C-alpha cells in the first residue's frame, strides 16, 4: 500500500508533539479547575471539553498575536492556560443552577 502526500500531512498533524502537549495541558487545566471548584467526576467530564476548547482558542490567539510569552516549542503556554481558564469559568457560569441559559 502506497502512502500518499495527504496521509503524510495527516500523520504529521496527528503525531505532532505540540498537539499532544496541548492536549495534556488542557486536561491538567480541566482537572485542576474541577478540583478547585468542586463537582466530582461528572463535572470533570463537562469541564474537559471546555478546557480543550479554551486552550485551543488561547493557543490560536497567542499565535495570531505574535506575543511569545511562556512559549514551549510551538505551544503558547500562557495564552493557552488563560484561554482554558476563561472558557472554564464561562462554562461554569452558564451551567450554574441560578443562570437562565
What pLDDT is recorded for position 70? 86
Answer whether residue 3 is part of any domain.
no
Q: Which domain holds residue 35?
A: 16-95
Answer whether residue 41 is part of any domain.
yes
Answer whether residue 61 is part of any domain.
yes
pLDDT in tens, 8-53: 777 777 788 888 999 999 999 999 999 999 888 889 999 999 999 9
Answer whether residue 9 is part of any domain.
no
Name the CA dihedral angle for 40, 46, 51, 52, rounded to a multiple of 10 degrees. Answer: 130
pTM metric for this prediction: 0.80
- Domain total in the chain: 1
Alpha-carbon distance of 28 to 30, in angstroms, equals 5
Answer whether residue 101 is part of any domain.
no
Answer whether residue 6 is part of any domain.
no
Answer whether residue 100 is part of any domain.
no
Angle between helices 77-95 and 17-37 (to 10 degrees): 40
Answer whether residue 78 is part of any domain.
yes
pLDDT in tens, 54-80: 999 999 999 899 888 888 888 999 999
Amino acid at each position: 500500500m502506497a502512502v500518499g502526500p495527504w496521509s503524510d500531512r495527516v500523520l504529521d498533524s496527528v503525531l505532532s508533539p505540540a498537539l499532544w502537549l496541548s492536549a495534556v495541558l488542557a486536561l491538567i487545566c480541566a482537572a485542576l479547575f474541577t478540583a478547585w471548584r468542586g463537582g466530582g467526576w461528572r463535572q470533570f467530564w463537562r469541564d474537559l471539553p471546555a478546557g480543550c476548547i479554551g486552550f485551543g482558542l488561547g493557543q490560536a490567539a497567542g499565535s495570531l498575536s505574535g506575543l511569545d510569552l511562556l512559549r514551549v516549542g510551538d505551544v503558547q503556554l500562557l495564552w493557552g492556560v488563560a484561554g482554558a481558564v476563561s472558557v472554564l469559568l464561562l462554562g461554569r457560569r452558564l451551567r450554574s443552577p441560578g443562570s437562565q441559559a
